[in-house]
Amino acid sequence: MFAEILTIGDELLTGNTIDSNSAFIAQKLTEKGYWVRRKTTVGDDVEEIKSAVREILKRGPEVLVISGGLGPTHDDVTMLAVAEALGRRFVLCEPCLERIRDFYRRLYEEGYIDDPELNEGRKKMAYLPEGAEPLENTEGAAPGAYIEHEGVKIFVLPGMPREMKAMLEREVLPRLCEREFIQKKLLAEITDESKLAPLLIEALERFNVRIHSSPKGFGKYIGIIIFGESEEEIERAKAFLEGRGIRFEEGW
Amino acid sequence: MFAEILTIGDELLTGNTIDSNSAFIAQKLTEKGYWVRRKTTVGDDVEEIKSAVREILKRGPEVLVISGGLGPTHDDVTMLAVAEALGRRFVLCEPCLERIRDFYRRLYEEGYIDDPELNEGRKKMAYLPEGAEPLENTEGAAPGAYIEHEGVKIFVLPGMPREMKAMLEREVLPRLCEREFIQKKLLAEITDESKLAPLLIEALERFNVRIHSSPKGFGKYIGIIIFGESEEEIERAKAFLEGRGIRFEEGW
Mean pLDDT of A192-197: 74
Residue A145's H or E segment, with its range, is strand A144-149
Instruction: Indicate if A187 and A237 belong to the same structural domain.
Output: yes
pLDDT score recorded for residue B183? 82
Q: Which residue has the higher pLDDT, B74 or A163?
A: A163
Domain boundary among A117, A151, A175: A175
Of A14, A18, A201, the CB nearest to B36: A14
Residue A233 is part of a domain; what is its CATH number?
3.30.70.600
Among the listed residues A88, A84, A40, the one whose alpha carbon sits nearest the alpha carbon of residue A61: A40
Cα(A80)–Cα(A127) distance, integer angstroms: 8
Which of A2-11, A62-71, B30-39, B225-234 is the least confident region? B225-234
Bridge partners for B129 per DSSP: B90
| A173 in contact with B, Cβ within 8 Å | no
Among A159, A175, A191, identify where a domain stops: A175
- Whether B54 and B111 share a structural domain: yes
**ipTM value of the model?**
0.87
Amino acid at A84: E
A84-93, A222-231, B8-17: range with lowest mean pLDDT: A222-231
- Do A196 and A188 contact (CB within 8 A), yes or no? yes
Q: Summarize pLDDT for B57-81 with one digit per residue, the tens.
A: 999 999 999 999 999 988 899 999 9
Interface of B with A in 127-156 (CB under 8 A): none
CB proximity under 8 Å: A 48-77 to B: 48, 52, 55, 71-75
A198 versus B59: which is more confidently predicted?
Answer: B59
Residue B219 pLDDT grade (very low, low, confident, very high; cuts 50, 70, 90): low
User: How far apart, in whole angstroms, are the C-alpha atoms of residue B221 and residue A172?
Assistant: 31
Residue A218: its pLDDT value, please? Answer: 54
Residue A99 to chain B, least CA–CA distance (Å): 16
Chain A closest CA to B133's CA: distance in Å? 24
**What integer pLDDT is reported at residue A81 of this predicted model?**
98
Range of the domain at A222: 182-250
Say what the pTM is: 0.88
The C-alpha atoms of residue B168 and residue A16 are separated, in whole angstroms, by 18
Q: Is the model's pLDDT at B140 over the cut of 70?
A: yes
**How much is the pLDDT for B214?**
76
Minimum CA–CA partner of B162 in chain A = A217
**pLDDT value, residue B33:** 86
User: What pLDDT band is residue B186 in, cutting at 50, 70 and 90?
Assistant: confident
Query: What average pLDDT does range A14-37 have in this prediction?
Result: 94
B194 and B127 assigned to the same domain: no
Q: For A28, list phi and psi in degrees, rounded to 5.
A: -65, -40
Write down how long chain A is: 252
For the segment A121-153, what is each residue's pLDDT rounded down to a tens digit?
899 999 999 999 999 999 999 999 999 999 999
Proportion of chain B above pLDDT 90, given as a percent: 67
Give yes or no: residues A162 and A62 share one domain: yes
Pair A211, A181: CB distance under 8 Å:
no
Q: What pLDDT is recorded for position A219?
A: 61
- Residue B206: closest CA among B183, B226, B222, B225: B226
Give the CATH number, domain containing residue A137: 3.40.980.10
pLDDT at B3: 97
